[in-house]
Chain A
Amino acid sequence: MCLGVPGRVVEVRGAVALVDFWGVRRETRLDVVDEPVAPGDYILNHVGFAIRKIPAAEIQETLALYDLLLQEAEGDMMAADVRGEIAAARLGKAGRDG
């Protein structure tokens, strides 16, 4: 539950960002993030909130760990944690309606 998941900001709409997580686009709230974010930035999403902007120099190393975890099968608890964190980012209005 504490792993969070990194994603790339696609668009910022006020306090909400559209974020790409391994090809899945979801909304993450920006209320508690430590720094302003812009499209192209990477954030760490935890329970639907960006808790951190990931510094540019650290993006690759961070993504590599999650690449490894996401290769795991459904039953693996670390992978389940990461998938849950992606699910925690909300489908946008369009996603919900469509």
Chain B
Amino acid sequence: MAELVLDRGVSQLRFRDPGRAHGLAGALQQLCKQIGRDVAVMHVCGSHEQSIAKFGLRTLLPKALNVIMGPGCPVCVTDVPEVDEAVALALDGKIIATYGDMVRVPGTSRSLGDAQAEGARIEILYSAAEAVELARDTTEEVVFFASGFETTAVATAAVVLGDPPANFSVLSAHKYIPPVMEIVAEMPGNRVEGFLAAGHAAAITGSAIFERFVEHHRVPVVVAGFEPLDILAGLVKLLELIRDGTMAVENMFPRCVTPEGNRNAQAQLWRVFRAVGGNWRGIAHIPNGNLRLRDEFAHLDARRRFAIDVQRLWDHAPAALTQSCVCGDIMAGIASPDRCPLFGKECTPDTPVGACMVSNEGTCKIWHQYGGHPDL
């Protein structure tokens, strides 16, 4: 029976090396048998989930192995008050420049898209450098509403250090991944026995950053790449560590990640930002989870440059549907999208209720496009 499922899975994939995929899938079956109980592991990266869902990797996994997506979508964990700040600035006539996914993330009463419909100027960009170019081409205030994990925050740091024009400022919603792994690992009811860390974020931070985490929480961490084979190989290594009770960090993506990471990028990141505590939407207060501009760059910090009045956005109660949204539980790895009563019904990519359905890195949107748990 297992063989049948395996064959069907592989035939759906366009692996460059189906033989190796078979081998890795077989190794996972074997490891689960040796472990002898159900095992849950978590990854924290939208691109990992895209690859897992797109290539149907869950069809290859043993039934006893549950691979959960944790808070790996920076857009999804952008908190309501952060969106409110951007909306308030937009309604005050500032040009808001931001990455495309941020436009539809719900705030208390409005998204940036709603503000745009009311006449606010929202510019979608692909690169932090474009926000600076935009500011150079105008005399108006340009606020770069900056989202993303450390991989993206280094680009914001670079433009802050690049002597931007006086009408440029940053509203940082940048998040830092290592602290949220601590919180998720400590959540009551959490059964996660190992983490798969995202390759490109770790390319910046280095794999060694997870060593302290492993020591504290007694769960292994494996750094893995994004190709289907990279992910399967990462899972094999993770299950080996779980089977042997070895609490360690293993780097299965050495073609991209070194123990020490990108020191140049780290230096710029920490010169510009400091880590402060703050809420991640739907999850919890995450100590050191938010990246905010240091005092030295206060003149470029939209929060300190402008009086941001968000209270006027609070006179509308959130729509009733949002009360049933389980995005928070999904990002904490406690629920999966198919357990949400709104998924695929009231909540779709065209009419998203929660942030997880907005972003291409959101679990709900990924499952909606590619399917989540294949029906075997």
B contact set with A: CB distance below 8 Å = 14, 16, 45-47, 50-51, 54, 74, 99-101, 126-130, 133, 148-149, 151-152, 154-155, 157-158, 161-162, 198-201, 203-204, 226-227, 255-256, 262-265, 268, 360-361, 365-366, 369
Contacts and interface: CB of A to CB of B under 8 A. Distances in A.
A7 interface: no
A88 interface: yes
A78 B51 contact: yes
Contact of B155 (A44, A49, A62, A90): A49
Contacts of A1: 46-47, 74, 99, 101, 148, 152, 360-361
A61 B229 CA distance: 12
Given A3-B226, A55-B255, A33 B264 contact: yes
B152 A32 contact: no
Secondary structure dominating the interface of B: helix
Contacts of A55: 255
A54 B364 CA distance: 32
Interface of A: 1-4, 29, 31-34, 44, 46-49, 51-52, 54-55, 57-58, 61-62, 64-65, 68, 75-78, 80-81, 84-85, 87-90
Contact of A81 (B50, B128, B162): B50
A32 B155 contact: yes
B155 A47 contact: yes
Given A1-B360, A4-B200, A76-B54, A51 B265 contact: yes
A46 B152 contact: yes
Contact of A48 (B54, B100, B130): B130
Given A46-B152, A52-B203, A65-B226, 13 more contacts: A1-B360, A2-B46, A2-B151, A31-B268, A33-B264, A33-B265, A48-B127, A51-B265, A52-B256, A52-B262, A84-B126, A88-B127, A90-B130
Nearest to A80: B360
A90 B366 CA distance: 28
A57 B255 CA distance: 9
A61 B74 CA distance: 28
Contacts of A34: 262-265
A24 B161 CA distance: 28
Contact of A51 (B200, B227, B255): B200
9 contacts: A1-B46, A3-B47, A32-B158, A33-B265, A34-B262, A51-B154, A51-B203, A54-B256, A68-B16
Contacts of B157: 32
